[in-house]
Structure 1
Amino acid sequence: MILTTCAACAAPLAHNAPRCVRCKLRYCNATCQHDHWRRGHKQMCKKIHRGGNAEQYNADKKYKEAVAEAVEACADDTKGQTCYICTQALHWKTKEGLVRMCACRGTAGFAHVSCLAEQAKILMDEAEANNLDWDARNARFWRWHACGLCEQQYHGLVYCALGWGCWKTYLGRPETDQIRSMAMNQLGNGLLEADHHEDACSVQEAQLSTLRHFTDTEMSENNILAMQNNLAATYGNLGRYEDALRMQRDVHSGRLKLLGAEHNRTMSAATNYAMTLKRLGHFEEARSVLRKTIPVARRVLGESHIFTLQMKSVYAEALCADHSATLDDLREGVTTLEETEPTARRVLGGAHPLVGTIESDLRNAKALLRARAGSA
């Protein structure tokens, strides 16, 4: 359940917390349930039930709010454009506006969130109807969080809106269902992208608890590692860096053991681990992790892959942020960022968060190098 707190007192709920018989809203105990009924739930209970019960009603409401927020944020970029899927400016059913969601050029970069969600749902329905294997299903599920044209992952408020769209589509499935678990993961990542860190943490902790409760196969071990990786990122955004570091160390070790050093997920785990090491001031340890991983990324993924770009960016930061850095270290950091920035801009587009981070780090690194060289 994504409604992880009591509707009456907002306290965290147990997995088997009591529910309203009609609308399935959850409470700590009968006292909270009776109190909430007296304070107005009596008037809302039937409406929530007609909306598919508490979880579905909440997800539908949150989806509409997230879509409106994404459309408003993209309004300047989408003026005079039409959806590349339905070719309309306003969605025929929801009347929502357009979003700008990826690195596509020309008119292909504009769409309605509802059109993107419908495309993803159709692809997954076909995969299940045709009983495709999990590799094929995972490839199709990718459309819930990445563009089918340029293949770039969505970011920010658009990702968040699609996260709610994905969750509202699959939440009615059993808790043991793999697609439901993937949808919950999609929602947690979307909330994280939109900087709703507390909400993301609640969703991810609920999912990790569910995975540990219901699954015990090698596939579920991979799923648990993925969930731990996402939750560690959320802990970092909440300032819980030591918690994040412990979890990322376990994830990196687990990925190496299960998948090997050349797998995308292992390289991503190494990057996340190094980022938290850097954040906690363990600069040499962060550089050590990346010195082993960057050559692998270059060989397997290429210089233009987002993982390679991220690793080089973090490595440069770990060089320049270290108070014991030498002039040669600073020069290496500046050179690395100078090499990375134009590639990142060309591949990801100027609006991508990583590009902004690299540009900011490059300005700061150059200023630091000038100051240190001038005082030498």
Structure 2
Amino acid sequence: MILTQCAVCATELGLTLGKKCGRCSTRYCGAACQVQHWKEGGHDKLCKPIKRAGGAEQHNANQKYTVAVAVAAEACAEDTKGQTCYICTQALHWKTKECLVRGCACRGTAGFAHVSCLAEQAKILVAEAEANNLGVKVLDERLNRWHTCSLCEQGYHGVVRCALGWACWKTYVGRPETDQLRIPAINLLGNGLHESGQYEDSLSVMEAELAMKRRLGVSEHSILVVQSNLASTYSCLGRQENAVRMLRDVYSGNLRLKGEENGTTLLAANNYAFTLIVVRRFEEAKSLLRKTIPVARRVLDNNEETTLRMRMNYAKALYADDDATLDHLREAVTTLEEIERTARRVFGGAHPVATQTATSLRNARTALRARETPPTSKSQN
């Protein structure tokens, strides 16, 4: 996580409370903890090395990045065996000695890279946009390189997305809070932590991002984006009612700001529907999805990720309902079979859409078999 707690007692400080070490910026809730850390916590020996690394936040980001890269490389080891980086053409990175990753939709021999190479590529593109004043649109497009493969144009997922999140954050963490790249960096970090299942850390980062955005007076759209991410994390942590309330507000906010045919509004509708399913409010979820799926198919594409996820959630609302009819269960199975074939073709079998659809399909088939199989009658003695 980013440094939002006292280094001694872990009191929550957000991004602005407490005090910092005058040399290295390590954070404390007050003078007593700072003195204790110096005398008993080893800070007297660590202070200068932390300062040389760029300060406490930079030092922390560097360490977390190194761990995240190692985790990503290990997770991809079987897939990357015998391959080379498409950027530097080496199997082992010449400087960092890190191994390869591939967490996108590339298949065959395409898409293998070092996290360091992907990060350097993104950093150069963004720096060029900044230096030449190419405008917000170009800058946003180039920021996508921090989370999207330049070959298959699909987003990285799982631990690879997390490693790139730390890479982005460590690149821009030293900039002022008002810098145009610091907010995207903290956003990418929070999403990366969420992608890798580190929900508590993700929540801490996202709450810090929301507080920073409110303090800076950013647009309502920007606030809605981080609220949507927060709600997803609430859901993963089991705080479903918090998630439902926030996602309802996010969906209605986007509907008002952007209209029903906007991609962000459709994504918000899908997130809201998913959480309604989690809390077993199936009729509300089905009603919302019946209204929004035709719009998604028309505005986005049948093979687009949001459209597939909406259809998957609709099927889930059908088969998970205790009152589902036999026709509902058959419709759910047929729909999920089609989605799984599409997801594997478009994104590859390892992509979350493909794996999650496969799980839902197994569950739907189980529910259908249970309904189709007549109960066995016990013989009378």
Give the TM-score normalised by the residue count of structure 2. 0.96
| Letter of the structure 1 residue corresponding to residue 28 of structure 2 | Y
Q: How do 1:32-47 and structure 2 match up within 5 A?
A: 32-39=33-40, 40-47=42-49
1:60-75, aligned counterparts within 5 Å? 60-75=62-77
Aligned to 2:262: 263
Q: C-alpha distance in 2, partners of 1:129/1:311?
A: 40
1:2 aligns with 2:2: yes
- TM-superposed CA distance for 1:2, in Å, is 2.1
2:13 matched residue in structure 1 = 13
Name the amino acid aligned to 1:262: E
* Runs of at least 5 residues in structure 2 that lack an aligned partner in the other structure: 376-381
Q: Which amino acid aligns with 1:148?
A: S
Which secondary structure does the structure 1 equivalent of 2:24 belong to? Answer: coil
Does 1:113 pair with 2:112? Answer: no
1:97-144: CA deviations, max 9, x gaps?
A: 100121112322200000000111111111111212222211111111
Corresponding residue of 1:212: 214
Identity within the alignment, %: 62
Q: Deviations over 1:281-317 (max 9, x none)?
A: 1001011111111111111111111111101101000
How many angstroms does 1:89 deviate by? 0.7
Tell me, in whole angstroms, the C-alpha distance in 2 between the residues paired with 1:273 and 1:178: 30
Residue 95 of structure 1, CA deviation: 1.1
Counterpart for residue 284 of structure 1: 283
Aligned pairs for 1:70-81 (under 5 A) are 70-81=72-83
| Structure 1 CA distance for aligned equivalents of residues 116 and 335 of structure 2 | 40
Question: 1:178 Cα shift?
Answer: 2.8
Following superposition, the deviation at residue 33 of structure 1 comes to 0.6
Aligned residue for 2:371? 372
CA contact (8 A) 1:259 1:266 kept: yes
Work out whether residues 255 and 265 of structure 1, in 8 Å CA contact, stay in contact via their aligned partners in 2.
Answer: yes
Following superposition, the deviation at residue 42 of structure 1 comes to: 0.6
SS at match of 2:175: coil
- Which has the larger helix fraction? 1
Partner of 2:379: none
Tell me how far apart the structure 2 counterparts of residues 31 and 83 of structure 1 sit (CA, whole Å). Answer: 50
SS at match of 2:355: helix
**TM-score normalized by the length of structure 1:** 0.97
Contiguous gaps of at least 5 residues in structure 1: none
Coordinate RMSD, CA, aligned:
1.2
**Pick from 79, 86, 89: which aligns with 2:91?**
89
Change over 3 Å in CA distance of 1:235–1:345 after alignment to 2: same
What is the SS of the residue equivalent to 1:33?
Answer: helix
Residue 125 of structure 1 is matched in structure 2 by 127
For 1:1-376, what aligned pairs fall within 5 Å after superposition?
A: 2-14=2-14, 15-39=16-40, 40-216=42-218, 220-375=219-374
User: Is residue 107–residue 348 contact of structure 2 (8 Å, CA) maintained in 1?
Assistant: no
Q: Is the 8 A contact 1:24 1:53 kept in 2?
A: yes
Q: Is the 8 A contact 2:17 2:29 kept in 1?
A: no
Which structure has more relative contact order (CA 8 Å, sep 6+)? It is 2
Q: For residue 269 of structure 1, report the CA deviation from its aligned partner.
A: 0.8
CA distance in 1, matches of 2:198, 2:158: 10
CA distance in 2, matches of 1:195, 1:18: 31
How much has 1:177 moved relative to structure 2?
A: 2.1
CA contact (8 A) 1:256 1:266 kept: yes
Helix, strand or coil at the partner of 1:108: coil
- Per the TM alignment, residue 361 of structure 1 is displaced from its structure 2 partner at its CA by 1.2
